[in-house]
Structure 1
Amino acid sequence: MPALATTSDGFLLHGDPFRILSGAMHYFRVHPDQWADRLRKARLMGLNTVETYLPWNLHQPEPGTLVLDGLLDLPRFLRLAAAEGLHVLLRPGPFICAEWDGGGLPHWLTTDPDIRLRTSDPRFTEAVDRYLDLLLPPLLPYMAASGGPVIAVQVENEYGAYGDDIAYLKHIEHALRSRGVEELLFTCDQTAGDHLRNGTLPGVLATGTFGSRVEESLRRLREAQPEGPLMCSEFWIGWFDHWGGPHHGRDAEDAAADLDRLLAAGASVNIYMFHGGTNFGYTNGANHHHAYVPTVTSYDYDAPLTESGDPGPKYHAFREVIARHAPVPDEPVPAPSPKLAPTTVRLTHRTPLIPSAGRPVRAKDPLSADDMGRRAGYTLYRTTVPTPGHGLLHFEGGVGDRAQVFLDGAPAGVLERERYEETLPVHVPRADAVLDVLVENMGRVNYGPRIGVPKGLLGPVTFMGRPLRDWDCHALPLDDAPSTTTLTATDPEPVAPESAPTGTLTSRVPVPEAFASSGPAFHHGTFDVRTPADAFLSLPGWTKGQAWINGFHLGRYWNRGPQRTLYVPAPILRRGVNDLVLLELHGATTSDAHLTDVPDLGPTGP
């Protein structure tokens, strides 16, 4: 018998009545050195449980592998939760959505256009099975049946919004059970439309996801499941942001009032999110309903615990509500964490990106990023344009997701998938001018039928209607910042492309010398820290790119907003000299960056 069991209207934990008071916190969005702090603050708010997704794409970057260290050390996270006295809800997917790159489905799987994702297609279910074969054995000791903190495990994720292949859901249920998971299983679905009907399984607890209209949502859940506990497995108390949109917020009193309604109805709850964290590196997802819109680096979510781990207005409001319905620890509310004193960083070294692109793959027409095995980051394409003059440069199939176009090293324009742009008017200055196209993957779609849509250049390219052939295609190795020992001091004189310190371009097309003094480039500077503390990287005067501190990839910045600062976790800083590296794709009006003690996630909108 599982530790957590259901009755006609509630839960029993080890035979005693129990209400789940949970908050979502994704270990992979929080620096591991901060897990214990965030878990303690969950308990102090009155929670007895934490919930987390598991990102398949990071845990298994290649078939047959399993990564369980660093940000992905889930066993350590579970040990820390148990040490804090918290239970855990695990949501292994395989699909997680989560505004996460590709919804958590691995790139090596979604690039196969013949696989029917999230169905009983054997090619998909066999890949899931092989992943679970590796994933579950190290997690079984942390199940409640073995004395661990995990009391329930989710089957898939909001499947009713995607499909109605019940055979697939039954396969996932069997895959978990047959590999030793004895704990309570549950599904979660939005309560509108047919979602609950399509996404539930007989014998598996159905839960709902919603953020308002509590009475109506609970009524629909009860209609779909006449007996059993009422549970909101995602109580949406904030929202995520897209580049170019507003920063979303929700009034704390309004959210607290709905939480009170939930608890007064006797329901259990998982607050989504309790602590959002950050989409470090290239991990953000994107939506594509009417248009492609990528998610920002911050996943603050206007949660009770801010991106930097400080109690916000919702923390205090929710703690008061929980105290009306359950015991809350008689301990002080945690104070905000120390912040680094404002610091200016002078970026003194610069190395152009494109001259150091490395060896290309040569192809008649451009290869997509997926064809070159790139899950995330950037791809560079180079050819020559035989005919000079004014004309239209057309990218058949468009770009995935944002392309910067250069002719003989000079910027010629930008194309964006978000705007459905495929054609650019250009002036080709001479015969056999060098055409470079730098394409940025802004994040893979995480929800709906467009998961797995390719990145990079997506088809042939023409100029004035004539095909451009024979391309050098580069998958740029930009997962890590270049070594700071290879970055050269800023020099007003152009640097010859062959002297680029991070590698020699072995291309059939010569690199335009203009790239040595302009265009996309790495910028490096150092700053001193006396005592490491949380900070926020502010980049006024910079345009768009990536940021690393001491080799830790903070993520993407963009002056389009709404986000204006990047969170800098205290554990990545060190006493003494620290390194900041920016990959700036366009240009800057300053050589300074700033570390501040206050975040700026942009103006709040609806």
Structure 2
Amino acid sequence: MPVLQIEGDNFTLDGEPFRIISGGLHYFRVHPDQWADRLRKARLMGLNTVETYVPWNLHQPRPDTFRLDAELDLPAFLDLAAAEGLYVLLRPGPYICAEWEGGGLPSWLLSTPGIRLRSQDQTYLDAVADYFSRLLPPLLDRLATRGGPVLAVQVENEYGAYDDDTAHLAHLADLLRGLGVDVPLFTCDQPGDLARGTLPGTLATANFGSQSRRGLAALRAHQPTGPLMCTEFWNGWFDRWGGHHVTRDPAQAAQELDELLGMGASVNLYMFHGGTSFGFTNGANDKHTYRPTVSSYDYDAPLDESGDPTDKYDAFREVIAKYAPVPTDPVPRRGAKFTALGVALAESAALFDNLPALGAPVTAERPLTMEQLGQDFGFVLYETVLPTAGPALLELEDIRDRAQIFVDGQPVGVLERENHEHAIALVVPRAGSVLRLLVENQGRVNYGPAIHDRKGLLGQVRLNGTELTGWTQHPLPLHSLDGLAFTSGPPAVGPVFHRGTFDVDVPADTFVHLPGWTKGNVWVNGFHLGRFWSRGPQRSLYVPGPVLRPGPNEITVLELHAAHLARTIDLRATPDLGPTEE
């Protein structure tokens, strides 16, 4: 493939002027059987390039484990992009933000006390060097300089919003170069952070979603020569639990895109297709109040969560056609959907009765964090014996992020980090009663200084001012539900897995709706769809068609509180992402 060059104020490919018209498409948020479909729709909208982050925490879940296969087969994704005639902008991090758990930084980094992420801390640098040494060699043949689709590679990500350590950026750039990355490098920052986050000798780009003229002027003021590029043109936004579903008017977004392209700039739409933060992979923000992000990453993008073109797709296609050739092939419209209403979940398995099937207990004098337990995602059940009976005040010094409290198996209440809650009054029935605290990691912070976000219980747990000791921890990553013992009949009190089946003739995308359910997680045929919560805004979970199979299919719901009496769910043809703000 042609090689990208920077010549004066322009990009060129093999000496010919070239404008990057790209769109964000994260392979790790899309089922691999759907990669080709999404890439084709990118080309049909008029994009010549796609952009993807690379999530370090999935590729290297433990220091001695590295994955580049199945849903993480990045080389295969790059090959599919090339086969579709698309170039690629690669953003390998190590930090990616992306509303992704921990900004892509693996949780095991936080098992080192005092580590300083995104800095010249030697422990961090050693881990980054090891990661890059595993990730990059299999990708070198996909660089444009070697005939592949990768035109350029990003150094870190919006570093100016975090720090201004040019030496750190230079170190990362040297790592990339030393491992054979010989395509152009670039940085991206919001206009106000350009002075802090750019690297001399490396192309600077800007991120914004409106006021394109102002954003590009700030970029030109900082970088007097070089191509103008918006690496994140925010054509939508993400949602958080307890908020509203964020949308952006297609006509207004298209007008802003028109202004940007009219100034001769290159662009990467963020996002072209958002996809889904499946499982426990959503991130969170913490600007003095912790706010976890929902599972859907629909992002109000040109392609919706299930890959269907939207009005924004058509509006952007019309704008792009003013500046670049757009394929004349017909654009695929809405894909087939599967429906099944009133699916009964008649079998149940109480979480507390199935602890041995879910993981081995760990004892310690004081509560251990998830990182100390070697756990990335999910829950930890903390258990200890209460020494006295009667009215009591239970205090939890630091909850990360939500604790359900049980005494002798009975629910007592909930304490949430988001609400800055630390204490609850309760009555202990007897000396020797068992206290259980089910603590959920609702997503590690992915932006700002709070990324040092250890999970579980941090600090002391006190009863009437006296520290409780002698803890048993049950790590509950919920990687597999195979060992659960399901029975029919009324479910137990407390967190319960509910299971049912439904038949499928022809597999197709669908959406799980859980009216009357409260909070938890959903799996279909063992594939972890993500979280649900009655507080909204998201009220459905996307099921990729490839997850289903002809004949019987299994759905399992972990309900942390209480399901509605009928214990049924619906599979519907349309999502419910919640009310929008008028």
Alignment TM class, shorter chain as reference: over 0.9
How far apart in 2 are the matches of 1:115 and 1:567? 37
Instruction: Specify the alignment match of 1:418 in structure 2.
Output: 418
Gaps of 5+ in 2: none
- Correspondence list, 1:186-201, <5 A: 186-192=186-192, 195-201=193-199
How far apart in 2 are the matches of 1:77 and 1:453? 31
- Alignment partner of 2:526 out of 551, 568, 574: 551
Residue deviations 1:335-377 (CA, integer Å, cap 9, x gap): 1110013433110110100122234212222222222111110
Instruction: Specify the alignment match of 2:165 in structure 1.
Output: 165
- Alignment partner of 2:255 out of 251, 254, 257: 257
* Alpha carbons 2:409, 2:436 under 8 Å: kept: yes
How far apart in 2 are the matches of 1:266 and 1:473? 58
Gaps of 5+ in 1: 493-515
* Alpha carbons 2:389, 2:430 under 8 Å: kept: yes
Instruction: Specify the alignment match of 2:128 in structure 1.
Output: 128
How far apart in 2 are the matches of 1:100 and 1:248? 18
Instruction: Specify the alignment match of 2:304 in structure 1.
Output: 306
How far apart in 2 are the matches of 1:519 and 1:85? 53
* Alpha carbons 2:55, 2:104 under 8 Å: kept: yes
* Alpha carbons 1:481, 1:548 under 8 Å: kept: no
| 1:591 pairs with 2:567 | yes
Instruction: Specify the alignment match of 2:72 in structure 1.
Output: 72
- Correspondence list, 1:333-482, <5 A: 333-358=331-356, 359-396=360-397, 398-482=398-482
- Alignment partner of 1:315 out of 309, 313, 319: 313
How far apart in 1 are the matches of 2:428 and 2:493? 19
Instruction: Specify the alignment match of 2:283 in structure 1.
Output: 285
* Alpha carbons 1:110, 1:451 under 8 Å: kept: no
Instruction: Specify the alignment match of 1:542 in structure 2.
Output: 517
SS in 1 for 2:508: coil
Instruction: Specify the alignment match of 1:510 in structure 2.
Output: none
User: How many pairs are equivalent?
Assistant: 578
SS in 2 for 1:460: strand
What amino acid sits opposite 2:538 in the alignment? Q
* Alpha carbons 2:273, 2:305 under 8 Å: kept: yes
How far apart in 2 are the matches of 1:7 and 1:191? 23
1:488 Cα shift? 2.2
Instruction: Specify the alignment match of 1:495 in structure 2.
Output: none
How far apart in 1 are the matches of 2:226 and 2:460? 56
1:437 Cα shift? 0.7
- Alignment partner of 2:213 out of 195, 212, 215: 215
Name whichever of 354-363 and 126-135 sits farther off. Answer: 354-363
How far apart in 2 are the matches of 1:2 and 1:18? 11
Instruction: Specify the alignment match of 1:526 in structure 2.
Output: 501
1:107 Cα shift? 1.1
Name whichever of 299-308 and 324-333 sits farther off. Answer: 324-333
How far apart in 2 are the matches of 1:240 and 1:442? 16
Instruction: Specify the alignment match of 1:505 in structure 2.
Output: none
1:196 Cα shift? 0.6
* Alpha carbons 1:107, 1:452 under 8 Å: kept: no
How far apart in 1 are the matches of 2:556 and 2:242? 24
SS in 1 for 2:136: helix
* Alpha carbons 1:406, 1:435 under 8 Å: kept: yes
Instruction: Specify the alignment match of 1:150 in structure 2.
Output: 150
1:468 Cα shift? 2.0
- Alignment partner of 1:570 out of 512, 533, 545: 545
Instruction: Specify the alignment match of 1:111 in structure 2.
Output: 111
| 1:33 pairs with 2:41 | no
* Alpha carbons 1:45, 1:315 under 8 Å: kept: yes
Name whichever of 554-563 and 115-124 sits farther off. Answer: 115-124
1:61 Cα shift? 1.0
1:26 Cα shift? 0.3
Instruction: Specify the alignment match of 1:6 in structure 2.
Output: 6
1:212 Cα shift? 0.6
* Alpha carbons 1:562, 1:602 under 8 Å: kept: yes
How far apart in 1 are the matches of 2:253 and 2:77? 28
Question: In the superposition, relative to structure 1, how do residues 588 and 104 fare at CA in structure 2: closer, same or farther (>3 Å)?
Answer: same
1:440 Cα shift? 0.5
1:392 Cα shift? 1.0
Question: In the superposition, relative to structure 1, how do residues 423 and 214 fare at CA in structure 2: closer, same or farther (>3 Å)?
Answer: same
How far apart in 1 are the matches of 2:132 and 2:371? 25
What amino acid sits opposite 1:279 in the alignment? S
Residue deviations 1:112-169 (CA, integer Å, cap 9, x gap): 2322211122222221111111111100010011100000000110011111111111
SS in 2 for 1:335: coil
Instruction: Specify the alignment match of 1:181 in structure 2.
Output: 181
1:480 Cα shift? 2.4
How far apart in 1 are the matches of 2:292 and 2:261? 35
What amino acid sits opposite 1:575 in the alignment? P
Query: How large is the Cα RMSD of the aligned pairs?
Result: 1.3
What amino acid sits opposite 1:361 in the alignment? V
Name whichever of 438-447 and 456-465 sits farther off. Answer: 456-465
How far apart in 2 are the matches of 1:67 and 1:426? 46
Name whichever of 306-315 and 63-72 sits farther off. Answer: 63-72
SS in 2 for 1:85: coil
SS in 1 for 2:41: helix
* Alpha carbons 1:487, 1:524 under 8 Å: kept: no
1:68 Cα shift? 0.6
Question: In the superposition, relative to structure 1, how do residues 128 and 349 fare at CA in structure 2: closer, same or farther (>3 Å)?
Answer: same
SS in 1 for 2:451: coil
Instruction: Specify the alignment match of 1:238 in structure 2.
Output: 236
Name whichever of 422-431 and 92-101 sits farther off. Answer: 422-431
Name whichever of 120-129 and 196-205 sits farther off. Answer: 120-129
How far apart in 2 are the matches of 1:382 and 1:551? 28
What amino acid sits opposite 2:431 in the alignment? A
* Alpha carbons 2:346, 2:489 under 8 Å: kept: no
* Alpha carbons 1:22, 1:50 under 8 Å: kept: yes
- TM-score, with structure 2 as normaliser: 0.97
Question: In the superposition, relative to structure 1, how do residues 278 and 448 fare at CA in structure 2: closer, same or farther (>3 Å)?
Answer: same
* Alpha carbons 2:96, 2:103 under 8 Å: kept: yes
How far apart in 2 are the matches of 1:89 and 1:307? 22
Name whichever of 433-442 and 5-14 sits farther off. Answer: 5-14
How far apart in 2 are the matches of 1:531 and 1:384? 52
Instruction: Specify the alignment match of 1:507 in structure 2.
Output: none
* Alpha carbons 2:375, 2:477 under 8 Å: kept: no
* Alpha carbons 2:164, 2:196 under 8 Å: kept: yes
* Alpha carbons 2:110, 2:371 under 8 Å: kept: no
How far apart in 1 are the matches of 2:477 and 2:150? 38
Name whichever of 129-138 and 25-34 sits farther off. Answer: 129-138
What amino acid sits opposite 1:386 in the alignment? P
1:591 Cα shift? 1.1
Instruction: Specify the alignment match of 1:489 in structure 2.
Output: 487
* Alpha carbons 1:64, 1:130 under 8 Å: kept: no
SS in 2 for 1:197: helix
Instruction: Specify the alignment match of 1:603 in structure 2.
Output: 579
How far apart in 2 are the matches of 1:78 and 1:2? 15
1:2 Cα shift? 8.5
SS in 1 for 2:450: coil
- Correspondence list, 1:500-515, <5 A: none
How far apart in 2 are the matches of 1:13 and 1:284? 37
1:262 Cα shift? 0.4
SS in 2 for 1:345: strand
